[in-house]
Amino acid sequence: MDDYIKITVLENTIEAQLIDSILSEKNIPHRIRSFHDTAYDGLFQFQKGWAELYAP
């Protein structure tokens, strides 16, 4: 993931699934990094957003 850059912050699961579906359909390489942590029960998702989208 060294050559990937942060594109945007995703706010919820639905947004992440939609973006993932569209980018996969168009064969655009991407990664979605979730902030969910079971130890803190998703605490960081309230502070940072649900996840981050990365692409080359």
Domain-located, residue 52: no
Residue 21 belongs to domain spanning: 1-31
12-42 residue pLDDT tens: 889 999 999 999 999 999 999 887 655 555 5
Q: How confident is the model at residue 49 (pLDDT cuts 50, 70, 90)?
A: confident
Residue 1: count of CB within 10 angstroms of its CB = 8
Q: How confident is the model at residue 2 (pLDDT cuts 50, 70, 90)?
A: confident
Domain-located, residue 10: yes
Q: Which residue shows structure tokens 């993931």?
A: 1
Look up residue 43 and give its two tokens.
Answer: 């605490």
Domain-located, residue 7: yes
Domain-located, residue 8: yes
Mean pLDDT to the nearest integer, 2-14: 91
DSSP-based three-state secondary structure for 8: strand
Strand runs labelled E in the chain: 5-10, 31-34, 51-55
Look up residue 3 and give its two tokens.
Answer: 């050559």
Domain-located, residue 53: no
Look up residue 47 and give its two tokens.
Answer: 């502070």
For the chain, what is the domain count? 1
